[in-house]
């Protein structure tokens, strides 16, 4: 599981995460909602060791991310997809996907390519395997980005607003892939502004407000008038 225990993060005088507790168990799909600036991306960046913690601890399957050896192990079970498609521009879709399995997991090239083609096929992009990122639409790039994360066979998938730079049609194609993944039991921690989609695929919803967790509820409770909606801040956000 991903275990976040009283995590604090400051940037100068700005307290961005203020005692956040969160647990994600294998098989869960947990969505993180909250206004812009509430600390969602910072939390994701803390989990994959891109930010140093100012307090508390994070473990991924027991590996502490604030320890270099632990972080290496944690990164092997946890893959992240970001808002902006950070594909390597000089590599084809296939090469972007096979790079880490070959370099990090030491998967033989032939096998890595077979697996990458199967992943591309699963997102409807097999025929684009040889295309460079500049030759792909935003939605296609983000689908390749998801394949690249899945190629590492992660136990956990962290997604930070992966559709917010896409137009509605491309958003729909990426969300369809994520719904399929959620349905197949992939554990996901999902930062999103797509509230209806979060409601549809999540087992739990957490709400961040000014770096604090205002709610951590099963999805139906979160949207219930006497549940999450009973909190004025959440009701205001959802309206």
List residues near Mg ion by CB under 5 A.
40-41
Q: Which does 88 bind (CB under 5 to 8 A by kind): ligand ADP, Mg ion, none?
A: none
Evaluate whether 169 touches 128 at the Cβ level (below 8 Å). Answer: no
| Residues contacting residue 129 through CB under 8 Å, at least 6 positions apart | 92, 93, 94, 116, 117, 120
Q: Is position 141 an interface residue for ligand ADP (rule: CB under 6 A)?
A: no
Q: Is position 34 an interface residue for ligand ADP (rule: CB under 6 A)?
A: yes
Which of 113/160 has CB closer to ligand ADP?
Answer: 160
Q: Which residues pair with 234 in a beta bridge?
A: none
Which of 36/134 has CB closer to ligand ADP?
Answer: 36
Q: Is position 139 an interface residue for ligand ADP (rule: CB under 6 A)?
A: no
Within residues 38-57, the interface with ligand ADP by CB under 6 A covers: 38-42
Q: Which helix (DSSP H) or strand (DSSP E) does residue 236 occupy? A: helix 232-238
Residue nearest to Mg ion (CB): 41
Which of 41/202 has CB closer to Mg ion?
Answer: 41
Cα 35 to its chain centre, rounded Å, is 17
Q: Which does 101 bind (CB under 5 to 8 A by kind): Mg ion, ligand ADP, none?
A: none
Residue whose tokens read 């993944």: 181
Q: Is position 37 an interface residue for ligand ADP (rule: CB under 6 A)?
A: yes
Query: Which structure tokens are listed for 183?
Result: 């349905």
Please report, for residues 86, 120, 179, 186, 223, the alpha-carbon distance to residue 173 in angstroms, rounded to integers and kept in the order given: 18, 14, 10, 18, 25
φ/ψ (deg, to 5) at 27: 95, -10
**Segment contacting ligand ADP (CB under 6 A): 8-16, 54-62, 79-87, 134-142?**
8-16
Pairing outcome for strands 204-209 and 212-218: antiparallel
Q: Which does 38 bind (CB under 5 to 8 A by kind): ligand ADP, Mg ion, none?
A: ligand ADP
Residues that bind ligand ADP (CB under 6 A): 11, 14, 16, 34, 36-42
């Amino acid at each position: 599981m991903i275990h976040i225990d009283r995590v604090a993060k400051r940037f100068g005088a700005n307290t961005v995460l203020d005692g956040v507790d969160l647990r994600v168990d294998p098989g869960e799909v947990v969505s993180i909602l909250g206004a812009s600036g509430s600390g969602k991306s910072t939390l994701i960046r803390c989990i994959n060791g891109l930010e140093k913690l100012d307090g508390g601890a994070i473990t991924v399957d027991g590996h502490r991310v604030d320890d270099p050896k632990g972080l290496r192990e944690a990164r092997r079970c946890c893959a992240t997809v970001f808002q902006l498609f950070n594909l390597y521009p000089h590599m084809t879709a296939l090469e972007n996907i096979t790079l880490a399995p070959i370099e990090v997991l030491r998967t033989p090239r032939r096998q890595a390519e077979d697996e990458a083609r199967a992943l591309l096929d699963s997102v409807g992009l097999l025929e684009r395997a040889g295309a460079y990122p500049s030759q792909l639409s935003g939605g296609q790039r983000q689908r390749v980005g998801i394949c690249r994360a899945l190629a590492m066979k992660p136990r956990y998938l962290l997604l930070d607003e992966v559709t917010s730079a896409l137009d509605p049609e491309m958003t729909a194609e990426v969300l369809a892939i994520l719904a399929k993944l959620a349905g197949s039991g992939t554990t996901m921690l999902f930062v999103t502004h797509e509230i209806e989609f979060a409601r549809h695929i999540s087992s739990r919803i957490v709400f961040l407000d000014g770096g604090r967790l205002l709610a951590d509820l099963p999805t139906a409770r979160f949207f219930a008038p006497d549940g999450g909606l009973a909190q004025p801040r959440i009701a205001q956000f959802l309206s």
